[in-house]
Amino acid sequence: MARPREFDEDAVLDATVQCFWRFGYEGTSVKDLTEKTGLTAASLYNAYGDKRGLFRAALDRYAGESVGNRIRRCEALAPLQAITAFFDDILRRSLNDRQHKGCMLVNSALEVAPHDPEFQKIIAGALARVESFFHECITAGQADGTITQSLPADVLARHLLGVLMGVRVLARVRPEKALLQGVIAPALALLGRADGAASQPLTGSDHPAERH
């Protein structure tokens, strides 16, 4: 029978996310993790196995808390408004990202996924959830007439996913509002959004750490 963990697992995972998110997988040392979490290396490894196990847990935490929460908040809106709110939130968070951390999933897709099949699968699964959200919104919008039917839903969903990843990378080196809006606006216009109406702002936080 496994022993219960004698620490606040949510707090430890949030701290672990912050380390890997800021420094990347290769750039994060055991010392960084112990200092950030307040646990010894032995305690961390007893709980998660090794650095790979910690990174795997951090990816799962980030995907569930950051990506998952944003999608759940947007799903309550009308189809086109949901997509618009999603990108409005991405824009806001990108511009408020003072450490230029970007998106942990996108960063990891560039750093570790190309040569690590296990992490590639985890990251691909999380990104597929975003693409699925776009696809569901587009399908519903095409059905109610608010989104163009000039292109299939799967094509538009993949396009939005590509725009999202591009914005997240670009924001790390050029976090300029006009530039990022200029990338997002044509993608929204392609869906049929021509009135420029503002969406309802999302409430809550992507991730507990972003409240600070």
Question: What's the confidence (pLDDT) of residue 41?
Answer: 92
Structural domain contains residue 26:
yes
CA neighbor of 160 nearest in space, from 140, 130, 139, 180: 130
* Residue 117 belongs to domain spanning: 9-195
Mean pLDDT over 83-105 rounds to 94
Question: What's the confidence (pLDDT) of residue 28?
Answer: 95
Start-end of H helices in 28-152 = 30-37, 41-48, 51-62, 68-74, 79-95, 104-111, 117-144
Structural domain contains residue 88:
yes
Domains in the chain, number = 1
Q: Which two tokens stand for residue 147?
A: 């989104």
Structural domain contains residue 201:
no
Question: What's the confidence (pLDDT) of residue 80?
Answer: 97
Structural domain contains residue 23:
yes
Structural domain contains residue 200:
no
More confident of the two residues 96 and 200: 96
Structural domain contains residue 203:
no
Q: Which two tokens stand for residue 7?
A: 């620490």
Q: What span, in angstroms and rounded, lies between the C-alpha atoms of 126 and 171?
A: 20
Structural domain contains residue 25:
yes
The answer, yes or no, to whether residue 6 has pLDDT greater than 90, is no
Structural domain contains residue 4:
no
User: Domain with 144 in it: what CATH number?
Assistant: 1.10.357.10
